[in-house]
Chain A
Amino acid sequence: MTTHVISLVSIGAHPTSGRPRRAEQDARAVELGLQLAGDNLQVLHAGDIAEPTLRAYLGMGLAQLHVLEQPAGADALPVLGDYLQDAGAQVVLTGSQAETGEGSGMLPFLLAEHLGWPLIVGLAQVESIDSGVAHVLQALPRGQRRRLKVRLPFVATVDNAGPKPRQSAYGPAQRGVLQEHDVQVVDDELFTGAVLQPAKPRPKRLKVIKAKSGADRMKAATAKASGGGGQVLKGLGPEAGAEAILKLLIEEGVVR
């Protein structure tokens, strides 16, 4: 028996050009769904059916994609919640945050709360689904994994540790069907009080030297700014060199 899986997808934005594309994490959610349910995977989107980028998901080999039609700026949560309530899914997969709009990453949490289902964050792999219980691997930072046991049905978010999404092919993308569903539109009240603006680059934090002595302050003020060429250790023994490297690694927190 295959599992009934629904993957939720959104329209992403390319990181350098900002043009619409299939969202990276959502595509991973679809890929994971395809691996779990094959052709029985159902893919769901809440938004504008006329958006051509939706076809990029169909290009992954989906026969159809269900669209809950609503304009931009509408709240996707209630319509998705209502739809999923009756859809009979056992596993709902989403990306962990949207690439456009607020991108707070709250949707899966609110959906899980709404449905009363457990939520797995950072699902990397489903090891087994057996009599209503799933063994899954959760992705941790630095590529680590944790094994969890969860009972069905559940919601899971997929981040960049999920399986690499298959290529979107032109042929299936053109043949796939966008299935339209009419739903009641609920406006999102966030944007009444909030403004989206182009991201400001955040300056690197300067190493503030709270000098305890004048000599330290002097040293801090006159020291060569980092960035203007690096330090070159020449003619030292290997031990001294290794020590210097290790010091930097520890400072940067990569060796613990």
Chain B
Amino acid sequence: MLNTLLPILLFAALGLAVLGALRRVNMWRRGRAAKVDLLGGLLAMPKRYMVDLHHVVARDKYIANTHVATALGFVLSALLAILVHGFGLHNRILGYALLLASVLMFVGATFVYLRRRNPPARLSKGPWMRLPKSLMAFSVSFFLVTLPVAGILPADFGGWLLAALLGVGVLWGVSEMFFGMTWGGPMKHAFAGALHLAWHRRAERFGGGRSTGLKPLDLSDKSAPLGVEKPKDFTWNQLLGFDACVQCGKCEAACPAFAAGQPLNPKKLIQDMVVGLAGGTDAKFAGSPYPGKAIGEHSGNPHQPIVNGLVDAETLWSCTTCRACVEECPMMIEHVDAIVDMRRHLTLEKGATPNKGAEVLENLIATDNPGGFAPGGRMNWAADLNLPLLGDKKTTDVLFWVGDGAFDMRNQRTLRAFVKVLKAAKVDFAVLGLEERDSGDVARRLGDEATFQLLAARNIQTLAKYSFQRIVTCDPHSFHVLKNEYGAFDGHYRVQHHSTYMAELIDAGALNLGQHKGNSVTYHDPCYLGRYNGEYEAPRQVLRALGIEVKEMQRSGFRSRCCGGGGGAPITDIPGKQRIPDMRMEDIRETGAELVAVGCPQCTAMLEGVVEPRPLIKDIAELVADALLEEPAPAKTPNLREPAEVH
């Protein structure tokens, strides 16, 4: 009886799965076109899955092993089951293989079940609580129905009752695993995830690469939408990416805005996008809501504006673009891209940048700096330093990119300290002076692509006039934009953060350094230096050279928590329950350090905004400048690495 029932069940489920897959594919195809290497991506997919994705998942050993067992067991048992039970190849070896595979899957499923017994808050509940049982049902049923095939039990063992029971088990298993995979069950992540990896919008991320620069809008194309208004305005592979989400909530756990009680939860946002692409309401979402927002009040469909239907604008403006969610996501979903895409629509089409956003953007247009200061005052901080201007020199080794911190009295201390270091190392450097403009970072994160491109084009034009070996800046935001985002507009430079450059100087023995005196030190990784550009080591190296043993925070390196200053968050200023810098200061206090070294003007400003008493905040450049010994090192010519050719 089972012999006739099983193929029917299997093929019916498979057929439905194919139908569902076609339907799902059609949903994704509502999105806009994207340049993707379809075939190459598919071919590269297994490697991306097993290497790159596994790297991320393996940060949590428990779930990595569980997933390997479950997924491998499932894939094998599904394939074998189709052969054995679908096509009736009652081969003993195949039978044993299938038995083995289902045991493997069962072991995995057991561990999934154990994790789910008392799940952490970040995990979604609802249908996901059913999944371990479905996995077990699948593996156990197939194990049992395969026993006769392997010849362990007689073919008619157990009689009608067991056969019926097994039939039900198989039905449950295949519905969840095959039918559910393409019709929106939890297993959807396997199907969409595989394709998402194949056709990822940032293929450079695989194979150890890094791709963090935002993708430009083509403003000359009048027919292209300015950002994303409706779900169908995303590119199709972005929609596919949203569908890949496993709702593991790693992003939620890492998100500073969520922790601060601002109305953002990256996991919910991605799920809302899924609701948008399929149509419906968010009532079925079984995870943590956006803080302060009830579930079930929002709905949408592919052709309806997202904001104020599906997602509230303040959710999008809560993001600090710190990329912690992207860094944590085992499915490598690009949350930040999606948020900026939607912000672009709000700013460029609706003119709805909240709070001080509009003013900042207007200032950027009219004065090239977000504060609206007279552009002529850009060099006032260095009035007595007699800095060489690139406009006079025309050529230099190091171009010191000052950034908008030039207008901020606190940051001027950092800048002056760094100049002191440069002078002590006898570096051939110059500044652009009044020719420098805001890099466009804030404008771009606020969604004003037009102003960003305006500033970028002008800066690139200025830089093209001169010759220099490298750009060094104290501002990770300028650093990131110059390094990773000007390339799309034909601005290719060798850009270094001042910590990297100082590490090089110290290595080359160009600085005569004493030791840091006094208090214990911890180091705060700026998002735009660390997660965006992978520079975790150089600042620590510099600190070590000063004789500092860094008391690491629990959340440091790629897990560093944002200071709350990125992505224009201080400008849009969405209220939460607490402030992000206060939480970060708590992290710092936990180490017991009396001083926190930073490498970013935003972080400095945000952390110094925490009410005293609190640890001191000093930029790395200030620490190095303080430790400089008056007498220069015995003439040891700086033997820096030959700068690489840049294009």
Contact = CB atoms under 8 A, between A and B. Distances in A.
A10 B555 CA distance: 53
A168 B351 contact: yes
B616 interface: no
Contacts of B385: none
B349 interface: yes
A213 B134 CA distance: 102
Interface residues of A, number: 16
Contacts of A16: 367, 372-375
B56 interface: no
Given A16-B373, A16-B374, A60-B351, A170 B226 contact: yes
B366 to A, nearest CB: 4
Contacts of B349: 169-172
A61 B350 CA distance: 8
Nearest to A60: B351
A47 B419 CA distance: 48
A169 B351 contact: yes
A115 B448 CA distance: 42
B33 interface: no
Interface string B223-242: 00010000000000000000
A19 interface: yes
Interface string B535-563: 00000000000000000000000000000
A171 B227 CA distance: 10
A141 to B, nearest CB: 24
Nearest to B349: A171
A20 to B, nearest CB: 8
Interface in A1-25: 14, 16-17, 19, 21
B347 interface: yes
A170 B448 contact: yes
Contact of B366 (A17, A170, A174): A17
Interface string A154-188: 00000000000011111110100000000000000
A59 interface: yes
Interface stretch (B75-83, B280-288, B357-365): B357-365
A21 B362 contact: yes
Interface string B371-394: 011110000000000000000000
Nearest to B375: A17
Interface in A233-251: none
A169 B348 contact: yes
Nearest to B227: A171
Given A170-B226, A171-B226, A19 B351 contact: no
Given A61-B351, A167-B361, A17 B367 contact: yes
A21 B348 contact: no
Contacts, number: 53
Nearest to A171: B349
A167 B358 contact: yes
Nearest to A16: B374
B353 interface: yes
Contacts of A17: 366-368, 374-375
Contacts of A169: 347-352
Contacts of B406: none
B367 A170 contact: no
Contacts of B375: 16-17
B435 to A, nearest CB: 14
A170 B353 CA distance: 12
Nearest to B367: A17
Nearest to A22: B362
A19 B358 contact: no
Nearest to A15: B372
Taking each of A14, A17, A61, which has the highest tally of chain B beta carbons within 10 Å of its own beta carbon? A17
B17 interface: no
B580 interface: no
Contact of A171 (B348, B362, B366): B348
Contacts of B150: none
Given A167-B361, A169-B347, A171-B226, A19 B352 contact: no
A168 B353 CA distance: 10
B554 to A, nearest CB: 41
B123 interface: no
Nearest to A12: B366
B366 A21 contact: yes
B322 interface: no
A171 B448 CA distance: 10
Contact of A166 (B351, B366, B373): B351
B365 to A, nearest CB: 7
Taking each of B348, B353, B448, B449, which has the highest tally of chain A beta carbons within 10 Å of its own beta carbon? B348
Contacts of A166: 351, 358
Contacts of A168: 351, 358, 362
B450 interface: yes
Contacts of A21: 362, 365-366
Contacts of B448: 170
Taking each of A16, A21, A59, A170, which has the highest tally of chain B beta carbons within 10 Å of its own beta carbon? A170
Given A17-B375, A19-B366, A21-B365, A170 B352 contact: no
A64 B353 CA distance: 23
Contacts of B374: 16-17
Contacts of B226: 170-171
Give 3 closest A-B pairs by Cβ, nearest first. Answer: A169-B351, A167-B351, A167-B358
7 contacts: A14-B367, A16-B367, A16-B375, A17-B375, A21-B365, A170-B448, A170-B451
Interface of A: 14, 16-17, 19, 21, 59-61, 166-172, 174
Given A14-B367, A17-B366, A17-B368, 15 more contacts: A16-B372, A16-B375, A17-B374, A19-B366, A21-B365, A59-B351, A167-B347, A167-B353, A167-B357, A168-B362, A169-B347, A169-B348, A169-B352, A170-B348, A170-B450
Interface of B: 222, 226, 347-353, 357-358, 361-362, 365-368, 372-375, 448-451
